[in-house]
């Protein structure tokens, strides 16, 4: 079997297991309550299976009709090292679900996702910025989102995440409120509201 077929089968199995792990964590059952223990048992069992295979596996020797010895390898899915590796990866996935969820729920990460989404959505409309570069006038500023935190509020302007004091499109951000951003451009202040 070719390496790409093996890789495809392995990725499909891991995707299925990852989906099952995610669903188990959603249900709030035993796996979620004992996440570290389950992850440790799965990873430990996988490592043990892999080590046992490496220590004891020998290909089968077979003599053909001409007296030549041939080594016959077991198929990849019949090897303990393959299943041990999958168990080890599954254990790592179980251990990583909660930290990944916390990371994905972080507002700063979500703001970056919104900025990336806005950037990708407006790729065909990027000609306006090239036109303005030729005429030496900055592109019009559009505010796409605000993440308001008392310590360090941030906003997305023209697909770029900015903080108070940052520069974007020739303007300096001087204030970020829960509903608007105040900028200074060419010595004049301007208030940007959420773009619709």
Strand partners, 193: 180
Percent above pLDDT 70 for the chain: 84
Res 173: pLDDT: 92
Integer angstrom CA distances of residue 118 from 58, 77, 113, 125: 55, 44, 8, 11
Instruction: Say what the pTM is.
Output: 0.45
pLDDT at 94 over 60: yes
16-25, 67-76, 85-94, 140-149: least confident range = 67-76
Among residues 146, 110, 107, which one has the least CA distance to residue 157?
146
pLDDT class for 184, splitting at 50, 70, 90? very high
User: What is the C-alpha separation between 89 and 18, in angstroms, rounded?
Assistant: 10
- pLDDT at 174 > cutoff 90: yes
Say if residue 10's pLDDT is above 90. Answer: no
What's the whole-number average pLDDT of the chain? 78
> Residues 171-177: what's their mean pLDDT?
91
Judged by DSSP in three states, 69 sits in: strand
Average pLDDT over residues 52-81: 75
Give the pLDDT mean for 147-167. Answer: 86
Q: For the residues 99-127, what does the mean pLDDT come to?
A: 71
Task: Give the integer Cα–Cα distance in Å for 2 and 21.
Answer: 29
Summarize pLDDT for 27-59 with one digit per residue, the tens. Answer: 666 767 788 888 888 888 888 888 888 787 776
Rounded to whole angstroms, what are the CA distances from 92 to 39, 59, 77? Answer: 6, 30, 21
**What strands, in cross-sheet order, belong to the sheet with 171-176?**
167-168, 171-176, 180-185, 188-193
Mark 34-67 as b/e (b = at least 16 C-beta within 10 Å): ebeebbeebbebbeebbeebeeeeeeeeeeeeee
Of these ranges, 89-98, 112-121, 179-188, the one predicted with the greatest mean pLDDT is: 179-188
Alpha carbons within 13 A on the beta-carbon side of 115: 18
């Amino acid at each position: 079997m070719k390496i790409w077929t093996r890789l495809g089968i392995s990725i499909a199995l891991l995707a299925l297991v990852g989906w099952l792990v995610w669903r188990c964590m959603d249900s709030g059952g035993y796996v979620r309550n004992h996440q570290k223990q389950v992850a440790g048992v799965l990873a430990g069992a996988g490592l043990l299976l892999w080590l046992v295979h490496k220590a004891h596996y020998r290909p089968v020797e077979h003599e053909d009709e001409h007296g030549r010895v041939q080594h016959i390898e077991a198929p990849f899915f019949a090897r303990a090292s393959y299943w041990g590796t999958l168990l080890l990866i599954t254990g790592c996935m179980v251990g990583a679900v909660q930290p990944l969820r916390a990371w994905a729920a972080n507002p700063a990460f979500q703001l970056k996702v919104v900025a990336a989404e806005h950037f990708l959505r407006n790729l065909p409309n990027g000609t306006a910025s090239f036109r303005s570069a030729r005429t030496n006038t900055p592109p019009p500023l559009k505010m796409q989102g605000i993440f308001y935190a008392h310590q360090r509020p941030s906003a997305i302007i023209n697909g770029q995440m900015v903080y108070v004091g940052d520069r974007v499109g020739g303007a300096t951000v001087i204030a970020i409120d829960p509903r608007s951003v105040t900028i200074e451009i060419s010595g004049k202040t301007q208030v940007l509201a959420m773009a619709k």
